[in-house]
Amino acid sequence: MSLDNRAENVLKNLVETYIQEGQPVGSRTLSKLPALGVSSATVRNVMSDLEELGLITAPHTSSGRIPTSQGYRLFVDRMVKASTLTQAAVVQLSERFERETDPETLLAHASDVLSDLTQFAGVVVLPNHSIARFHQLEFMRLSESRILAILVTEDGRVQNRVLPTAGSFADNELVAAANFFNHRYKGSTLEEVRRLLVRDMQKDNDEMHQLNQAAMQAASKVISEEDASSKSDVVLSGEQKLLDVPDLCQIETLQKLFDAFKTKRDLLDLLDRSMKADGVSVFIGEESGYSALGECSVIASPYEVDGKILGTLGVVGPTRMSYAEVISVVDITSKLLSQALSQTVRN
């Protein structure tokens, strides 16, 4: 949408004033702002044009104007510059991640941090293990007929399974089998490993050592069980803070929103979209495609381990929010979480 400089300046100041004060903004209020420097009549004419374009609207007859979702979108795309956190704030935030070393604790911690800093709901989508990358598999003999299989992914997660065996294997044989398996599949996603295992196990036993065949069968069981039980989930923090947001005080609005939090399906779908984005994504109001989020904005960013995207994190709040600040918080939190998770894997 094309706006001249005057119209763009009026929209920018109207949105910023409404975000700060939470009340419909009139032409007289805007005309007094030094950043505009035009008469009330001129502002009124420009606001009329903006309203015809669907960028602002009057919530009540004879009231001032508020931004529409389309108006917020134009504001975010053209006029918002992410605020820069002070060096002291970044250091303080970084220290909150440095205290944790467990990957699952770090993911939950990121959700808490987002909520604490924005006073909205913080959300983190946990990695789907089908897209997590295989790092290594270890076998440990527990008895003559049982082994412990230890699966480690590149995001630092560890899963254990006790498996029965058809025969008895010595410790050095289990090490050899694990080395064979790790050399063959390291770096592949669990979904890729699962498909490759199906293919490789269809080969004749004569083509593959019996011990390696047994290792593949054991690994297939571990990965299949992990794939079935570890679908992506969402960690939410601070949902109750939205109860104190005046813009979301309607019972029907809150009920729809909390139902969406409970089922998580819509939220997962929305956040999954941001995994393919370069940097921070902003979904405003009905843009999300879900009625439950019609009065909300969702700001999200992917997080990664050593350059490989694993999931997303973000903030759910009202459409009337300080976009510059929240975008900055989401951006720096995703970077700090990525650094912390990468460090746990290297260690």
Helix (H, G, I), strand (E, B) or coil at 320: coil
The pLDDT mean for the chain works out to: 84
- How do beta strands 234-237 and 121-125 pair? antiparallel
pTM of the model: 0.73
In whole angstroms, what is the distance from residue 55 CA to residue 47 CA? 9
- For 104-125, write each residue's pLDDT tens digit: 788 888 999 999 999 999 999 8
Say how far apart CA 139 and CA 234 lie, in whole Å. Answer: 31
- 91-100, 227-236, 270-279, range with the lowest pLDDT: 227-236
Higher pLDDT, 305 or 298: 298
Q: What would the DSSP string read from start to end of 152-192? A: EETTS-EEEEEEE-SS---HHHHHHHHHHHHHHHTTSBHHH
Q: What is the DSSP letter of 82?
A: P
d(C-alpha 58, C-alpha 75), whole Å: 18
* Domains of the chain with bracketed CATH: 5-78 (1.10.10.10), 87-127+232-346 (3.30.450.40), 134-229 (3.30.390.60)
Cα separation, 298 vs 316, whole angstroms: 5
Distance of CA 313 to the CA centre of its chain: 2
Report pLDDT digits (tens) over 218-247: 777 777 665 544 445 788 999 999 999 999
pLDDT tens for each residue of 327-344: 999 999 999 999 888 887
Q: Are 24 and 247 a contacting pair, CB within 8 Å?
A: no
pLDDT band at 203 (very low <50, low <70, confident <90, very high): low
* In the predicted structure, residue 319 carries a pLDDT above the cut 90: yes
**Tens digits of per-residue pLDDT, 253-265?**
888 888 888 878 7
